[in-house]
Amino acid sequence: MELIVYLAGQIHDDWRNQLKEKADGMQLPVTFVGPMENHERSDNIGEEILGQQPNSILKDEAASKFNNLRTRILLRKSDVVIALFGEKYRQWNSAMDAATAIALNKPLILIRPASLHHALKEISEKAQVTVETPDQALAALSYIFEE
Amino acid sequence: MELIVYLAGQIHDDWRNQLKEKADGMQLPVTFVGPMENHERSDNIGEEILGQQPNSILKDEAASKFNNLRTRILLRKSDVVIALFGEKYRQWNSAMDAATAIALNKPLILIRPASLHHALKEISEKAQVTVETPDQALAALSYIFEE
Amino acid sequence: MELIVYLAGQIHDDWRNQLKEKADGMQLPVTFVGPMENHERSDNIGEEILGQQPNSILKDEAASKFNNLRTRILLRKSDVVIALFGEKYRQWNSAMDAATAIALNKPLILIRPASLHHALKEISEKAQVTVETPDQALAALSYIFEE
Amino acid sequence: MELIVYLAGQIHDDWRNQLKEKADGMQLPVTFVGPMENHERSDNIGEEILGQQPNSILKDEAASKFNNLRTRILLRKSDVVIALFGEKYRQWNSAMDAATAIALNKPLILIRPASLHHALKEISEKAQVTVETPDQALAALSYIFEE
Amino acid sequence: MELIVYLAGQIHDDWRNQLKEKADGMQLPVTFVGPMENHERSDNIGEEILGQQPNSILKDEAASKFNNLRTRILLRKSDVVIALFGEKYRQWNSAMDAATAIALNKPLILIRPASLHHALKEISEKAQVTVETPDQALAALSYIFEE
Amino acid sequence: MELIVYLAGQIHDDWRNQLKEKADGMQLPVTFVGPMENHERSDNIGEEILGQQPNSILKDEAASKFNNLRTRILLRKSDVVIALFGEKYRQWNSAMDAATAIALNKPLILIRPASLHHALKEISEKAQVTVETPDQALAALSYIFEE
Amino acid sequence: MELIVYLAGQIHDDWRNQLKEKADGMQLPVTFVGPMENHERSDNIGEEILGQQPNSILKDEAASKFNNLRTRILLRKSDVVIALFGEKYRQWNSAMDAATAIALNKPLILIRPASLHHALKEISEKAQVTVETPDQALAALSYIFEE
Amino acid sequence: MELIVYLAGQIHDDWRNQLKEKADGMQLPVTFVGPMENHERSDNIGEEILGQQPNSILKDEAASKFNNLRTRILLRKSDVVIALFGEKYRQWNSAMDAATAIALNKPLILIRPASLHHALKEISEKAQVTVETPDQALAALSYIFEE
């Protein structure tokens, strides 16, 4: 039995790759999916497919459609969602992906620093588990497969 | 035919009451529901019901449970969700309520200032309509009932 | 027991009002809902709420959002959908509303002239009943309540 | 992870084969399905299975049942739907398949020439993305798998 | 709190009226719905709405569409289904309505004479309760409201 | 807006009546429903409707069918479920009703003495809120309606 | 892409094996499932697992539980259901399986002799296609895979 | 066709391993999943992942979150659930898992000693089959695959 894990959350550092490598090392039967992590590509995808748009607002709208196409399909395919929140950004997309996971009845593993406890308390309460580091999230994933 | 409208979003100013009064003036067959708007009550509700908690983290957790109880029930009862984002706060709860509405297949009317266009572009793309003022949201509501 | 009936289809003649008057005369416990029938209002609603748009394409996009807001809410509230197709128009919106009704598992009463038989055969096959006149659709509605 | 893509829309030219060949060239992990593209076979399938029917109306009804059998099964199996509209035909079946995809919560990639913008604006608004050429649809598909 | 009760099953005797009268006498807050009980009207409804059909097969098909329109709408509106099987008829419609109720997750109260025990054992096993007389079914309904 | 509240849990003391009286005093717009509280009637209902059964096992089976008929209908009608666990009994029915509520996505308010904390920890984790007294559950209900 | 096909209907002759052999000959990518076809085994399965039952009624009840266990699991796994009705038996189980398929939104291919047209007209109207022979059902299956 | 079987119920003896070995011997195409059976690991998993908790209540809460993460994912993946109740424990988790299976519309095979008949009668009535030994449960599983 394999699980598909969607990695929601910030795309500003390398946390996904580190998580994937560790999961490989643990030989977990897991496939990871997630949003486009190349920030520039993510912002430009609308114009790259549809051609130049009249202004930056329409450029953004075009990009968001293709990003949401990707997210919708991959999120529905997944069995569990891991969402990482950091301190630097507003990360409304992360909140939206986390809430979508919850509403689709897919269990959410929330990763956030202790400092964000108050701001994220309602999301945390809806998550299946809340941890502080990607390693803890990985330990939770691993626990599902233990015999 | 009556509609139930959930008013998600910031609880730091008086926008809900203004909206309700105008809707009354227009005689729309609408019932408005929403989160607890008394911020202090919302933060303390856990301790008010369960008694003093050991620390502020557990106080927050207790409060979030009762706030989510209220939100879950009222959001499911609603036919359409209006979510207002302002510039001052991170408003992850608003993003979560908006995403929950979308995932429950309830149409979302998003209100946000033009300055938040880029940050909210993925949520906006998933909303049924995006407007900039509560009055425009009200005009959209009214349009549903026009003959 | 009351039923809500969505009247999909062309908005270029007076068939909805005629149907409603006859239903009133028969004292059927039915509430009729449907799309905006004022064609000009329907085309302009985007600009009327959001203000002037940069070009006609964006004007159309804005309008379609508010029209779909209305349709989504009312279609979900309905118990049965009546869709009328005439010979003059492409009526892709009618086809979309009819198919949405079917996919939502709401029974569809299709009204179309015999001359459209071939073009509409797949939609007709998915409809619960296909008739040729609004009076026949009304007879079908009435049959639901007969004792 | 593989995706199943349903190719809805006109069956009067060779767009599906061109799309499939290009997707093969890009090595996308995708299986394409769709309606019967042999128009004559599609019109005659009722009589070919059930034998001659009394008249052309019943011949059409019989054919539509088998065509809808195929469409229903394949559409439900798919993860994403691409629908192509051209200028020549009424294409109510394409509109019906597109709307069914939307109602089943499967993302829709709409392909239509700019000239059909106004006529298709409500369907376009419900689509996840709207593009003008099959190549752009293919770029959107490819974006889902990029790392 | 009121319940809607669908009375499926044979339409060849007066059991529905007897049940309704007794329920009235017990002042149960219940609304009864069901199929057309006038057998002749039920067989002719297709031609009465659509006009004469070419042959008896098409007459039957037309009638079944309108009968199913009625059944679909009323069955979905109901909270609980009572199905009565007697010894005289094949009553495939009753079996179909009973199975539809079960698949829709609506509790089924099955009424059948002891002599039909073997033939109906799989349906009985899926019913919520199986009784032998309409009076027993009424006692079950009444039990739901007891304080 | 009214809510229907299902009161699951032990039927061995008077907690439901006390709760109802207090809710009346607070004028909450709430209707309470629940299982048969007359224990003897609950154990005998099978024989009371169907007549004497061959042995006590079959008497139990008959009774459980009618009790489940009642529970299924009322639980589905409810918007929120309150389940009370006490120390004296095994209360598997209470656990079953609580889990059914959770699986139906209805928020659960769990009432249990602190002494049952360990034994009920998994159910508590799935509940929306866990409290220790019926008065606290009532305060939670009341919070939903506060303005 | 493979399909799972449930073969509902009478278990008194060899039609399933004939169908399977022909499907093999046509190399259709199809897996067939269905009820226990050994009639005696089907009637005795309750006692074979649970031991002797007190009387024939309880023997039947026990058997029906295990038969329904099998049917429920296999029917949900299937993509399409073929149900064959013959003239000799009441076949309420076939009607129940057919109706369950319809209510689960799985397309139904109904096979019945012309002589059963009137008795089965409501089931036929709900089927996706109705044919008279297993060979025609097989042709319909094959049409789904044609390119 | 393979089935995934969730083994709910007590974790205090070796019944799961015995069942798995016998299923292997019978070459059933079945994958078994279930809760963490190492009781100590199950009680400590919260602290093992999150670090030491302030008190035993919070230790329990942390553990229950990770145990429920595992249960939720594996229960949803399964096609059928077997739940074993023994006489020694309260086993509210078993009751919860059994009820979740029922509410998710997954068939439940209940194993319980005859002595628990009365206490478990409502759960038994909701189960698809009730047996007394794991061997009987295995015979039921095997029956699904018989040809």
Give how far Cα B64 sits from Cα of A93, A102, B86, E72, Å. 21, 16, 22, 42
What average pLDDT does range D17-44 have in this prediction?
94
What average pLDDT does range H122-140 have in this prediction?
94
From CA G19, how far away is CA F147, in angstroms rounded?
66
Q: Which subunits have 3 or more CB–CB pairs within 8 Å of chain G? A: D, E, H
Residue C90 pLDDT level (bands cut at 50, 70, 90): low
Cβ-contact B47, B62 below 8 angstroms = yes
Select the more confidently predicted residue: E74 or F54. Answer: E74
The gap from C-alpha B88 to its chain's centroid, in whole angstroms, comes to 16
Helix axes B56-77, F134-145, angle to 10 degrees: 60
Would the CA dihedral through F81, F84, F85, F90 be positive or negative? Answer: negative
From CA H39, how far away is CA H67, in angstroms rounded?
11
Domain boundaries, chain D: 3-36+78-144
DSSP F127: S
Q: Any idea how long chain D is?
A: 147
DSSP for F29-70? -EEEE-S---HHHHHHHHHHHH---SSHHHHHHHHHHHHHHH
How close A109 comes to chain D (CA, Å)? 22
Q: What is the pLDDT of residues H87-106, one digit of tens each?
A: 776 677 788 888 888 888 89
Shortest CA distance to C103 belongs to which of D3, B102, D81? D81
How close E147 comes to chain F (CA, Å)? 7
| Class of domain B3-36+78-144 (CATH, top level) | alpha beta
CB burial of residue C133 (10 Å; 0-12, 13-18, 19+): middle
From CA B50, how far away is CA B44, in angstroms rounded?
10
pLDDT surpasses 90 at H33: yes
Read off φ and ψ for residue E130, nearest 5 degrees: -120, 130
Shortest CA distance to F78 belongs to which of B77, G147, E115, H2? B77
- pLDDT score recorded for residue C131: 96
**Which of H1, H3, H130, H145 is the mutation pick for testing G, counting most G CBs within 10 A?**
H1
Least confident piece of the model among B81-85, F12-16, G110-114 = F12-16
pLDDT surpasses 90 at E43: yes
DSSP F117: T
Residue B40 pLDDT level (bands cut at 50, 70, 90): very high
> Which member of F45, F50, F76 has the closest CB to residue E143?
F45
Q: What mean pLDDT value characterizes chain E? A: 91
Give how far Cα E143 sits from Cα of A123, B111, D69, Å. 42, 50, 44
- β-strand pairing of C108-111 with G3-9: unpaired
From CA E124, how far away is CA E116, in angstroms rounded?
10
CB burial of residue B85 (10 Å; 0-12, 13-18, 19+): buried
- β-strand pairing of D108-111 with C3-9: unpaired
- pLDDT score recorded for residue D90: 65
Residue contacts between A and D (CB atoms, under 8 Å) = 44
CB atoms near residue E108 (< 10 Å): 25
Using the beta-carbon criterion (under 8 Å), do E64 and G97 form an inter-chain contact?
A: no
> Which member of C128, C131, C132 has the closest CB to residue E72?
C128
- pLDDT score recorded for residue D147: 83
Q: Which residues on adjacent β-strands are paired with residue C9? A: C84
Using the beta-carbon criterion (under 8 Å), do D73 and G144 form an inter-chain contact?
A: yes
From CA A47, how far away is CA D1, in angstroms rounded?
27
Residue contacts between A and H (CB atoms, under 8 Å) = 43
- pLDDT score recorded for residue A132: 95
Annotate D22-35 with b (16+ C-beta within 10 A) or e (fewer).
ebeeeebebbbbbb
What average pLDDT does range C55-70 have in this prediction?
92
CB burial of residue C52 (10 Å; 0-12, 13-18, 19+): exposed
- pLDDT score recorded for residue E89: 64
Residue F28 pLDDT level (bands cut at 50, 70, 90): very high
- pLDDT score recorded for residue C122: 85
From CA B68, how far away is CA B66, in angstroms rounded?
5
From CA G32, how far away is CA G79, in angstroms rounded?
10
Using the beta-carbon criterion (under 8 Å), do G1 and D65 form an inter-chain contact?
A: no
- pLDDT score recorded for residue E32: 97
Helix (H) or strand (E) holding H31: strand H30-33
Q: What are the strands, taking DSSP E only, across chain B?
A: 3-9, 30-33, 80-84, 108-111, 129-131
Q: What share of chain A is helix, strand, coil (3-state, %, to 5)?
A: 55, 15, 30
Q: What is the pLDDT of residues E77-129, one digit of tens each?
A: 999 999 999 877 667 778 888 888 888 889 999 999 988 888 888 889 899 99
- pLDDT score recorded for residue C127: 94
DSSP F147: -
With a pLDDT cut of 70, the percent of chain C lying above it is 99
Give how far Cα C123 sits from Cα of C83, C85, D44, D45, Å. 11, 11, 17, 17
What average pLDDT does range F12-24 have in this prediction?
91
Amino acid at F19: L
- pLDDT score recorded for residue H49: 96
The residue assigned the tokens 């490598």 is A21
Q: What are the strands, taking DSSP E only, across A10-98?
A: 30-33, 80-84
- β-strand pairing of B80-84 with B108-111: parallel
The answer to whether E and B touch (≥3 CB pairs < 8 Å) is no
From CA E44, how far away is CA H82, in angstroms rounded?
51
ipTM at complex level: 0.90
Q: What mean pLDDT value characterizes chain D? A: 91
From CA A81, how far away is CA A8, in angstroms rounded?
7
From CA B106, how far away is CA B86, in angstroms rounded?
22
From CA E119, how far away is CA G60, in angstroms rounded?
10
Read off φ and ψ for residue G146, nearest 5 degrees: -60, 145
Residue D94 pLDDT level (bands cut at 50, 70, 90): confident
With a pLDDT cut of 70, the percent of chain H lying above it is 99
What average pLDDT does range B123-140 have in this prediction?
94
Which residue intervals of chain G are DSSP H helices? Answer: 15-25, 39-50, 56-77, 92-103, 121-126, 134-145
What average pLDDT does range C57-81 have in this prediction?
93
- pLDDT score recorded for residue A10: 81
Q: Any residues with CB less than 8 A from the CB of C28 and at least 6 apart, and which?
A: C138, C141, C142, C145
pLDDT surpasses 70 at D81: yes
How close A43 comes to chain H (CA, Å)? 34
Q: What is chain G's pLDDT, residue by residue, as a tens digit (147 residues)? A: 899 999 998 877 889 999 999 999 999 999 999 999 898 999 999 999 999 998 888 899 999 999 999 999 999 999 999 999 987 766 777 888 888 888 888 999 999 998 888 888 888 989 999 999 999 999 999 999 998
Q: Any residues with CB less than 8 A from the CB of H75 and at least 6 apart, and which?
A: H6, H81, H97, H100, H101, H104, H106
With a pLDDT cut of 90, the percent of chain H lying above it is 67
Cβ-contact E51, C131 below 8 angstroms = no
Provide, as residue numbers in chain F, all residues whose Cβ is less than 8 Å from the Cβ of B75: none
DSSP for D41-108? HHHHHHHHHH---SSHHHHHHHHHHHHHHHHHHHHHH-SEEEEE--SS---HHHHHHHHHHHHTT--E
- pLDDT score recorded for residue D12: 75
Nearest chain C Cα to D87, which residue? Answer: C90
Cβ-contact G85, G65 below 8 angstroms = no
Select the more confidently predicted residue: B90 or E8. Answer: E8
Cβ-contact E88, E15 below 8 angstroms = no
Provide, as residue numbers in chain F, all residues whose Cβ is less than 8 Å from the Cβ of H117: 57, 60
Provide, as residue numbers in chain G, all residues whose Cβ is less than 8 Å from the Cβ of D77: 1, 79
Q: Which stretches in chain A have pLDDT values below 50?
A: none
Nearest chain D Cα to G124, which residue? Answer: D65
- pLDDT score recorded for residue B6: 97
Q: Any residues with CB less than 8 A from the CB of H28 and at least 6 apart, and which?
A: H141, H142, H145
- pLDDT score recorded for residue F90: 63
pLDDT surpasses 80 at C79: yes
From CA H71, how far away is CA E75, in angstroms rounded?
35
The residue assigned the tokens 């098409």 is E58
Which tokens go with D4? 């199943």
Which tokens go with G17? 């094996």
- pLDDT score recorded for residue H64: 93
What average pLDDT does range F89-114 have in this prediction?
86
- pLDDT score recorded for residue E1: 83
Provide, as residue numbers in chain A, all residues whose Cβ is less than 8 Å from the Cβ of D132: 50
Residue B89 pLDDT level (bands cut at 50, 70, 90): low
